[in-house]
A and B are shown apart, each in its own frame.
Chain A
Amino acid sequence: MADPKITLEQVLHVAKLARLTLSDQEARQMQEQLDAILGYMEGLDDLDVSEVPPTFHSIPMDAPLRPDVPERCSDRAETLAQAPASEAGGYAVPLVLEVDS
């Protein structure tokens, strides 16, 4: 059997990069499915595109600047109402730094 396009180890590494957790069974299934998809995508290797420029934007356009004028932004209370946790007019977030007091 040909080498897999992606190994279980690589799947677990990518999951870590993407901040996803996978159970053992999910990881095995993910490996099989990604292997099949990446195997199909090998068809692109039939094309020599080394001289072809990439298309990052299908429709050419400039990146415009908006006029530098102050304007109303979203309402703070309405926006914070959607936060998982808020405190004193700000987002309450998990501790990222330990500080000795």
Chain B
Amino acid sequence: MSGFPWQSAFEVREQVAAGSVSAVEVTRAYLARAEALNPTLSCFLTIDHEGALAAAAQVDHKRAAGEALGPLAGVPIAVKDNLCTRGVRTTCASKILGEYIPPYDAHVVEALRASGAVLLGKTNLDEFAMGSSNENSAFANVHNPWALDRAPGGSSGGSAAATAAGLAPLALGSDTGGSVRQPAAFCGITAIKPTYGRVSRYGLVAFASSLDQVGPMARSVREASQLLEVVAGHDRRDATSAERGTGAYLAACDRGVNGLRVGVVRDLIDGLQDADVRASVEAALGALEQEGAVLVDVALPHAKHAVSVYYLIATAEASSNLARFDGIRYGLRVPGKDLTETYTNTRAEGFGPEVRRRIMLGTYALSAGYYDAFYLKAQRVRTLIRRDYDMAFERCDVVCTPTTPTPAFALGEKTSDPLEMYLADIFTLPPSLAGLPAISTPSGLSAGGLPVGLQLVAPPFEEEVLCSVSQAVEDQCGLLSKRPAALP
């Protein structure tokens, strides 16, 4: 097998299809690498040897029988542990679901299986996807492969770190307020948050239902685009699934940027405190201009309110969604003297501090006397944020900002101050609140050798233009030739 472990998903599929290596051999190699590096990185909560080898054997069997192979045949993939996998533990990195084994597959997991992908295991996350550093996992902290003392980002930190470390060519995460984009930026990979409704949420454990989307993650834009093609499309089991098919995302990567208008949010970029991030964004914009894109200034005057709006809406929805964890139908039960005490004992023992904090904030925002002042007000300001984008898209095809205000911060740096942690989400929250598709792709390294991510946002269901523009960024400023420095 040539190129292991850094070969692309396309190369793996090609080698498997040509018979130069078997899918079982590929899978064994990645499983061994995951076993070797997981004690250092804690990317995986579960490594599914048996399931992975069985899926790989099935691909080899199909090939031997001369059957058509799917677009991801034999390609190993890591799946975030808030996506249900039938027969494989799905914990959401929470003690309350510590031993939960779903009786069904998420829609995206079905799509992966149908494409011939090999699910290696389930990746670590912030508990119930609530967090920006992966430090809210009930089980272990993920370490950033570029610098082990740094956070991998969150909440899809395990998926991002696994992809960056060559534990799998591809991964799936989920994104509510930046949970695939921010860890992708911190770990030097690409991730797409699709338009709300583009990918089915069936089998994604709900955090904030009006914001959650499943997102593809990969080291290259082309691989992320291919993975989006596989998982996107209508599914009637999710009532908010858009009645559209998938798109030609991979082909869009080769379209170039000539004549495309890139909206530059000048005041946000000029206001960046971190000189490396500012320089990296400017360099990427310069490269896009060189390739024929037209830079236009746009404004998002209400983006500064996104942290307040998001942490009211998302927590309100979370407080409602997480009411189902009561120790009755599945998951942990800690019995009390009566039903109410069984509920409270179970939830007190099952939920970690950040999840409790968000349930409290959301319950407060929805409670009698505060609904209008907090929740409803947040939904009104959300309209203003959406309108900012409507105005911007009259002048441009994509809106560009950095993904994060700084490169990866240190583990432990922000854990004592939740508000400080929330404020670092400022760039990824506005497109989430507006339901818009967004991508984060590396735009270079900081002086300290940490990846910097560029975020591009497009109008609803215009993911293709994100693929075109980020491919140009990758070609000019990407990190594909670089390897994470901290890996043994």
In the complex the two chains form, is B100's CB within 8 Å of A82's CB?
Answer: yes
In the complex the two chains form, is B327's CB within 8 Å of A43's CB?
Answer: no
In the complex the two chains form, is A17's CB within 8 Å of B367's CB?
Answer: yes
In the complex the two chains form, is A34's CB within 8 Å of B331's CB?
Answer: no
A81 and B210 CA atoms in complex are apart in Å by 31
Cβ of A70 under 8 Å from chain B:
no
Chain B residues contacting A96 (CB-CB under 8 Å) are: 339
Cβ of A88 under 8 Å from chain B:
no
Q: Given known contacts A14-B360, A14-B364, A40-B419, is B103 in contact with A79 (CB within 8 Å)?
A: yes
CB distance from B178 to the nearest CB of A (A): 15
B381-426 contacts to A, CB under 8 A, are 381-384, 386, 418-419, 422
Cβ of A89 under 8 Å from chain B:
no
Cβ of B33 under 8 Å from chain A:
no
CB distance from B220 to the nearest CB of A (A): 28
In the complex the two chains form, is B340's CB within 8 Å of A19's CB?
Answer: yes
In the complex the two chains form, is B381's CB within 8 Å of A47's CB?
Answer: yes
In the complex the two chains form, is A82's CB within 8 Å of B419's CB?
Answer: no
CB distance from A69 to the nearest CB of B (A): 12
Count residues on chain A whose CB falls below 8 Å from chain B CBs: 48
Cβ of B357 under 8 Å from chain A:
yes
Give B332's nearest chain A residue, CB to CB.
A84
In the complex the two chains form, is B364's CB within 8 Å of A55's CB?
Answer: no
Q: Which of A6, A10, A75, A84 has the most CB of B within 10 A?
A: A84
In the complex the two chains form, is B357's CB within 8 Å of A91's CB?
Answer: no
For the complex with contacts A15-B360, A64-B236, 14 further pairs of A-B residues with Cβ separation under 8 Å are A14-B363, A14-B364, A19-B343, A19-B347, A20-B356, A22-B348, A34-B364, A41-B308, A53-B383, A54-B376, A58-B210, A59-B240, A59-B242, A63-B239
In the complex the two chains form, is B383's CB within 8 Å of A55's CB?
Answer: yes
B337-375 contacts to A, CB under 8 A, are 338-340, 342-345, 347-348, 351, 356-357, 359-361, 363-364, 367, 374
Chain A residues contacting B348 (CB-CB under 8 Å) are: 20-22
Number of A-B contacts (CB under 8 A): 157
Chain A residues contacting B361 (CB-CB under 8 Å) are: 34, 37
Q: Given known contacts A20-B351, A66-B236, A94-B339, is B386 in contact with A41 (CB within 8 Å)?
A: no
In the complex the two chains form, is B381's CB within 8 Å of A82's CB?
Answer: no
Chain A residues contacting B102 (CB-CB under 8 Å) are: 82
Q: Give the dominant DSSP class at B's interface.
A: helix
Chain B residues contacting A58 (CB-CB under 8 Å) are: 196, 210-211, 382, 386, 433-436
Contact sample, A vs B, 22 pairs, CB 8 Å cutoff? A14-B360, A18-B360, A20-B360, A22-B348, A37-B418, A44-B305, A47-B302, A47-B305, A47-B384, A49-B377, A57-B240, A58-B386, A58-B433, A59-B240, A63-B239, A82-B101, A82-B329, A84-B330, A91-B328, A93-B339, A94-B338, A96-B339
A55 and B361 CA atoms in complex are apart in Å by 20
Cβ of A8 under 8 Å from chain B:
no
Chain A residues contacting B197 (CB-CB under 8 Å) are: 59, 61
Give A93's nearest chain B residue, CB to CB.
B328
- Kindly supply a per-residue 1/0 record for chain A positions 65-101, scoring 1 wherever the CB is within 8 Å of any chain B CB and 0 otherwise: 0100000001100110111110000010111100000
In the complex the two chains form, is A82's CB within 8 Å of B330's CB?
Answer: yes
Q: Which of these, A36, A54, A84, contacts B327 with CB under 8 Å?
A: A84
CB distance from A34 to the nearest CB of B (A): 6
Chain A residues contacting B339 (CB-CB under 8 Å) are: 93-96
